[in-house]
Amino acid sequence: MAEFTMELSDEQKEVRDWLHGFAADVIRPAAAEWDEREETPWPVIQEAAKVGIYSLDFYAQQYFDSTGLGIPMAMEELFWGDAGIALSIVGTGLAAVGVLANGTEEQIGTWIPQMYGDANDVKVAAFCSSEPDAGSDVASMRTRAVYDEAKDEWVLNGTKTWATNGGIANVHVVVAVVDAELGSKGHASFIVPPGTPGLSQGQKFKKHGIRASHTAEVVLDNVRVPGSCLLGGKEKLDARLARAREKAKKGGGERVKNAAMATFEASRPAVGAMAVGTARAAYEVALEYAQTREQFGRPIIDNQGVAFQLADMRTSIDAARLLVWRASWMAINGKPFTAAEGSMSKLFASETAKKVTAQAVQILGGNGYTREYPVERMHRDSAIYTIFEGTSEIQRLVIARTLAGMPIR
């Protein structure tokens, strides 16, 4: 088990500085353009692929960092550059992790390379879980997968929503219901290969923020995929469903749900790190502006009202980062989240990003309200952190029920 420390190693600092340089030199200069265009920034993704950032190898190295700080450090630096472009770069990782967590070695070796492509022909992947009536309430999922034994194929029908890269992805990973009576334990994940008939893009959302990241509905109309596209295989699925049915008979359903929720919670610090990156970026712009902008013959940072805001902003950012680092260290070292520390980090960091970016706009005054300065975009981008990967209200619910010793539904 790695000792907890707030000091990065020389190797971690080197990676951090490398990522920061890419964010400053490549992502930042392109941010405003792709936000206005509301399109996937393919040239930037290609540049990330060329230097090795857009690759499974890079994220695997950060994920298996024994301190747990590799992923949050990477997320903070990339999202410091720009949230929309950064999400376009890291979004494929959601689908890749889904395959890594549930797939066989053959499935991992077959499909993950097709998710990324290469530096000359980059691809993206989409993880499709949320539905119009099933966001936080995953038990209400309606997309169905029915096994056609005669053809050894699964038939998928339903509509997914809020899918990053949905419809433009080379590979889609789709979560569907295989046994409705088991609730969330009756779900399974499927690979939908490139060019599969019946899969189409539905509505592409025009968003308030993170506009360089493609978000759309994915429609599945009698989509047939080979039996080999069930992640983990049918034998493993049948065994898991049998155990779930047996536990349900014995009244163990809640304990099963809680275990699943604990796994889900472990991923939330990464979103917290994204929020820290955006908040830090806005704070740095506001600090520089306050040091150089003069009113009444002196820099506005000399005014206590502005200086105190900056003090609060920096304090909240540092506190958020520490919560993220603590949860990330706990997760990689198998420490149980007895007080929902994962949700704590995501909740505080997300709310911090919204507050800090709003304060940055206020410090810049009229300039902050225009698109001539990046804090306007950062403020719009920050709103997503309190919504995706569980809203702030869901985080508070998880924390409260955990503290009370109650089951998390």
The closest alpha carbon to 281, from 353, 181, 182, belongs to 353
361 burial (CB, 10 Å; 0-12 / 13-18 / 19+) is: buried
Helix (H) or strand (E) holding 203: strand 199-204
25 burial (CB, 10 Å; 0-12 / 13-18 / 19+) is: exposed
Q: Which position among 131, 217, 341, 389 bears the catalytic label?
A: 389
- Is residue 149 annotated as a catalytic residue, yes or no? no
> What residue type is 261 in one-letter code?
M
Distance between CA atoms of 383 and 210, rounded to whole angstroms? 9
Q: Give the list of residues 6+ apart from residue 161 with CB closer than 8 angstroms, or none.
A: 130, 131, 132, 202, 217, 218
Question: What is 321-368 written as a DSSP string?
Answer: HHHHHHHHHHHHTT---TT-HHHHHHHHHHHHHHHHHHHHHHHHTTGG
Question: What is 122-169 written as a DSSP string?
Answer: E--EEEE--BTTBSS-GGG---EEEEETTTTEEEEEEEEEEEETTTT-
Q: Give the list of residues 6+ apart from residue 221 with CB closer than 8 angstroms, or none.
A: 157, 198, 199, 200
Catalytically annotated residues: 389
